[in-house]
Amino acid sequence: MKKIDEYFVPWLKGQKMYVSSHIDLAWKRPELHRMMSNENPLPPSDKVIEAILKYGKMANRYADQGFAVRQKIADINGLDGIENVLLGNGSSEVYDMIWRSFVAPGEEVIQQTPCFGIYKLRGGIVGAKMVSVPMIYKDKQLLFDPDGVLKAITPKTKIIVITNPNNPTGNFMKADDFVRIAETGLPFVVDEAYIEYSGLGKSQVKLTKKYKNVIITRTLSKAYGLAGMRFGYALGHKDVIVQIAATLIPWNVSTIAMWAALAALEDGAGLQERVEFNNQEVEYIETEVGKIKGITVFHSNGNYILFDSAIPGKTGKGMVDHGVKKGLILRGQDPMYGSEGWFRVTIGSHAENELFVNAVREYFTH
């Protein structure tokens, strides 16, 4: 008799469940400040809470296909209609659906690193080979490398994914470079998880009208502040969206989440308040930490900031450990480009951001 292990598909072997230990720690120890997962520090607005309560009372009912919220999303983005919009249980599920739609075991997904870790995790499940093209670290900036991405294409390439602005580096890729990659005809996923912090004027959604192969992903986890709600979506040509939709797990987005999402999308003032607060706090932290000699600050268009320190005897990991002593959960970053000085913060309340700035000063200047 064969052992149970031998029945698993081979590419699943060795893959592990994703455990977000810093988020588990934050729930276990609520007295710690959550400055590690690019969450929004502001709780949902009253309008969103109202929708949660209203549809919570109808939780005995199955959801429809999300007609109302998909129409709203299409309108906001200047698209024809609901046929251009696919809903996911967070955008992480959207990548899962896209990867499953295009990638067979052994085929390749190109990503620009450092980037969001879920691309690789969901790649592992479909047996994808992840091809990581590093950004270029030059003149205290981490730059996109579209030439490197184009050079990495092989006959096995099935998807190219670019995050815009990128997490963790916070910067945008140039508009022309999106066109160059779109012109390859390869499925091209542009992850716009943080786009609302700069406004939809910076979105590449218009490319979906000209290029059927371009798919935009978004989430309500960031500027809209609904990470725990789980609501993300993809935008694209109707023929592409309808095919990916075949992978949808029925009722993947709950009734409560879709109506709360609609309320959030309709609450323009709520979004503006969150964006303005975030951008002002980004500026505060960048200015204050920027005063410390030896720390490179990567200007962010998101709700997080990446730093690289070149101060002898000090490391990014040391900073993260110091943060915990000060009650702050921060995020480390594996050594890269020959430096161990990397760390990242997520914007918190103003008081939390002050605590962070003080902790950084204390660690690096003592």
Ligand X SMILES: Cc1ncc(COP(=O)(O)O)c(C=O)c1O
Compute the distance between CA of residue 195 and CA of residue 327 in angstroms, rounded to an integer. Answer: 30
Closest CB 90 distance from ligand X, rounded Å: 3
Nearer to ligand X by C-beta: 235 or 322?
235
CB-based contact 314:343 (threshold 8 Å): no
Residues 32-61 that bind ligand X (CB under 6 A): 38
**303 near ligand X, rule: CB under 6 A:** no
Closest CB 278 distance from ligand X, rounded Å: 14
Binding mask 113-132 for ligand X (x = CB under 6 A): ---x----------------
Compute the distance between CA of residue 20 and CA of residue 360 in angstroms, rounded to an integer. Answer: 24
**191 near ligand X, rule: CB under 6 A:** yes
Pick one of 26, 98, 193, 319: the residue that binds ligand X (CB under 6 A).
Answer: 193
**90 near ligand X, rule: CB under 6 A:** yes
Pick one of 91, 157, 169, 309: the residue that binds ligand X (CB under 6 A).
Answer: 91
Exposed/middle/buried for residue 67 (C-beta within 10 Å: 0-12, 13-18, 19+): exposed
Nearer to ligand X by C-beta: 169 or 309?
169
**164 near ligand X, rule: CB under 6 A:** no
**92 near ligand X, rule: CB under 6 A:** yes
**300 near ligand X, rule: CB under 6 A:** no
Structural tokens at position 320: 């993260």
Instruction: Name the closest residue to ligand X (Cβ).
Output: 90
Instruction: Write a three-state SS string for 306-323.
Output: EEEECCCCCCHHHHHHHH
For the chain, the distance separating the N- and C-terminal CA atoms, rounded to the nearest angstrom, is: 64
**196 near ligand X, rule: CB under 6 A:** no
Choose the stretch contacting ligand X; rule: CB under 6 A; options: 62-70, 86-94, 238-246, 292-300: 86-94
Closest CB 74 distance from ligand X, rounded Å: 19
Exposed/middle/buried for residue 265 (C-beta within 10 Å: 0-12, 13-18, 19+): buried
Residues 8-27 that bind ligand X (CB under 6 A): none
Sign for the CA dihedral angle at 92, 97, 99, 100 comes to positive
Choose the stretch contacting ligand X; rule: CB under 6 A; options: 89-97, 127-135, 144-152, 245-253: 89-97
CB-based contact 101:95 (threshold 8 Å): no
Choose the stretch contacting ligand X; rule: CB under 6 A; options: 54-62, 87-95, 101-109, 179-187: 87-95
CB-based contact 165:172 (threshold 8 Å): yes
Q: Site size for ligand X, by CB under 6 A?
A: 13
Nearer to ligand X by C-beta: 45 or 221?
221
Compute the distance between CA of residue 82 and CA of residue 70 in angstroms, rounded to an integer. Answer: 5
Closest CB 348 distance from ligand X, rounded Å: 15
Instruction: Write a three-state SS string for 212-270.
Output: CCEEEEEECCCCCCCCCCCCEEEECCHHHHHHHHHHCCCCCCCHHHHHHHHHHHHCHHH
Compute the distance between CA of residue 160 and CA of residue 115 in angstroms, rounded to an integer. Answer: 13
Which residues lie near ligand X (CB under 6 A)? 38, 90-92, 116, 163, 167, 191, 193, 219, 221, 227, 232
